[in-house]
Amino acid sequence: MFFRKKGYDYKELAKKFSCIIHKNLSLDELNLNLLKFLADTVHTEGAALVLKEKETYSVRQCLGWRSFAFRTEDFKDLIQWFNKHRQVLTRSQILEDVHFSYIKRSALPFFVQFQAEICVPLFVQEDLLGFVTLSVKKNGKPYTTACQLVLDWLGAQIALFLKNAMLREEILLQKMELETVKDLKSQIIANLSHELRTPLTGVIGFSELLSEEMDGPLNEEQKKHVLQIQDGADRLMKTLSAFVDLAKLEAGNLPLHVQQFPLAPLVTSLGDEIPFNMDTNFKIDFEPRTPMIYGDLSLVRQIFKHLLDNAAKYTPKGEVHVSADKKGEMLEVCVADTGIGISEEKLTRIFDGLYQVDGGITREFQGPGIGLALSKKLIELHGGRLWVKSQPGRGSRFFFTLPLKPIAIRHKELAA
């Protein structure tokens, strides 16, 4: 409960403090306003705010004089005393009270340097966040017990506020740094893609000419090698495209064209494009009344292509099965296979950009691991989600949802 005690109206002080911290100001401006507030409360003109950054204390704001250098190591004994006693300290106590004689050598130079008559520690739980020093009062009188109590109370409020403000500032700075890293990553990927696409296009083009035997007939071994070149170049081109799309998606620069369309024709057309093994059966199981979904046709096609490519890659023989079921306002799609499956410890990592289930150098199942990461982002962009159920040796089932009604498609806000 707030109360008036020996000339100080705590309730009124709380109101003034609240008004200051709720102003839309920078942290430096808030620090200055808080010093003015403290100085006005105890009728002094000089004040300083010292705050800790990592393990070093530095002067963050001054009132009544210019800022100056502050060496933490010169006042270690004083800092230890504050950590132990957690109370305000006055110059008169240092000079006149024998109980403080053991810290006089460290404390007195501190008070002289700050032109201080009183020092208020700023604690948040066990953490000494910093200090507020205040100079001599305008009337020249000493700081009374009531004055020390109100400063101790205000110091606790200020410490908690400053701790939260500094955390917010740190989070904002980290966010800005992450945005810079994102932009840099997108630029690097775009430049890398541009530099690689030109020679890669040449490799693909010349390998096609070789396969058509325009420069003369090839023997069976040569034909096999040309097919390997084409396969590797095509896979690399797809990987580059996926990287670029993922970078655009994370930067919020992937254009969307939302429309209503059925899934069955889209999935059927992909059945002829996906390189299923001869021993793998591809099955589509959509009910005649399966509702149409809302989304970007080309991006939804990418989702299915990546998931079906993944199923074909890890199912050397057996079945790949696509089905759909209405779940409220979403359509739940399942892409199931009877392939190699995924162990439980690897399930949490398969949506990482470059992770592959069979990640060894000599792995049997080749292909880009970025497809699943891109699919997850594209599905989330449409307001859906992607998850997987799998067991080693028994295949995998990838589930995802797509909207049946127009919804607000997340774009710029898409989390990385």
Residues 42, 117: contact at Cβ < 8 Å? Answer: no
Helix, coil or strand: residue 202: helix
What does the H/E/C string look like for 385-407? CEEEEECCCCCEEEEEEEECCCC
Give the pLDDT of residue 71.
82
Q: Where are the beta strands (DSSP E) in 88-144?
A: 89-90, 118-124, 127-134
Give the pLDDT of residue 354.
53
Residues 293, 261: contact at Cβ < 8 Å? Answer: yes
What lies within 8 Å, CB to CB, of 24 at 6+ separation is none
Q: How far apart are alpha carbons 388 and 399 in whole angstroms?
A: 6
What lies within 8 Å, CB to CB, of 63 at 6+ separation is 32, 35, 36, 39, 45, 46, 47, 48
pTM above the 0.95 mark? no
Q: 255-416: CATH homologous superfamily? A: Histidine kinase-like ATPase, C-terminal domain (3.30.565.10)
Buried b (16+ CB within 10 A) or exposed e, 58-87: ebbbbbeeeeeebeeeebeebbebbeeeee
Per-residue pLDDT band at 275 (split at 50, 70, 90): confident
Give the pLDDT of residue 353.
61
The DSSP output letter for 278 is T
Helix, coil or strand: residue 154: helix
Give the pLDDT of residue 81.
92
Q: How far apart are alpha carbons 367 and 350 in whole angstroms?
A: 13
pLDDT above 50: residue 240? yes
Give the pLDDT of residue 234.
81
Domain 4-173 in CATH 3.30.450.40: yes
CA diameter of the chain: 106
Per-residue pLDDT band at 156 (split at 50, 70, 90): very high
What lies within 8 Å, CB to CB, of 207 at 6+ separation is 226, 229, 230, 233
Arithmetic mean of pLDDT over the chain: 85
Residue indicated by tokens 């060496």 = 71
Q: Domain ranges for the chain, please list them.
A: 4-173, 255-416
Q: How far apart are alpha carbons 43 and 138 in whole angstroms?
A: 6
Q: Which residues share a beta bridge with 397?
A: 336, 389
Q: From the CB of residue 279, how many other CB atoms can be counted at a distance below 10 Å? A: 10
Q: What angle do CA 278, 332, 379 make, to 5 degrees?
A: 85
Give the pLDDT of residue 149.
93
Per-residue pLDDT band at 414 (split at 50, 70, 90): very low
Please state which of the ranges 9-13, 246-250, 393-397 shows the lowest mean pLDDT.
246-250
Residue indicated by tokens 């095509």 = 234
pLDDT above 70: residue 416? no
- Comparison of pLDDT for 131 and 277, the residue scoring more: 131
State residue 49 phi and psi, 5-degree precision: -120, 120
What would the pLDDT profile of 297-306 be if each residue is shown by its tens digit? 999 999 999 9
Per-residue pLDDT band at 89 (split at 50, 70, 90): very high
Per-residue pLDDT band at 349 (split at 50, 70, 90): confident
Q: From the CB of residue 161, how many other CB atoms can be counted at a distance below 10 Å? A: 18
Sort 19 into a burial class: Cβ within 10 Å, 0-12 / 13-18 / 19+: exposed
Please state which of the ranges 98-112, 276-290, 396-410 shows the lowest mean pLDDT.
396-410
Give the pLDDT of residue 415.
38
Give the pLDDT of residue 409.
52
What would the pLDDT profile of 188-223 be if each residue is shown by its tens digit? 777 777 787 888 888 888 888 888 888 788 888 988
Residue indicated by tokens 């003109």 = 45
Q: How far apart are alpha carbons 369 and 352 in whole angstroms?
A: 8
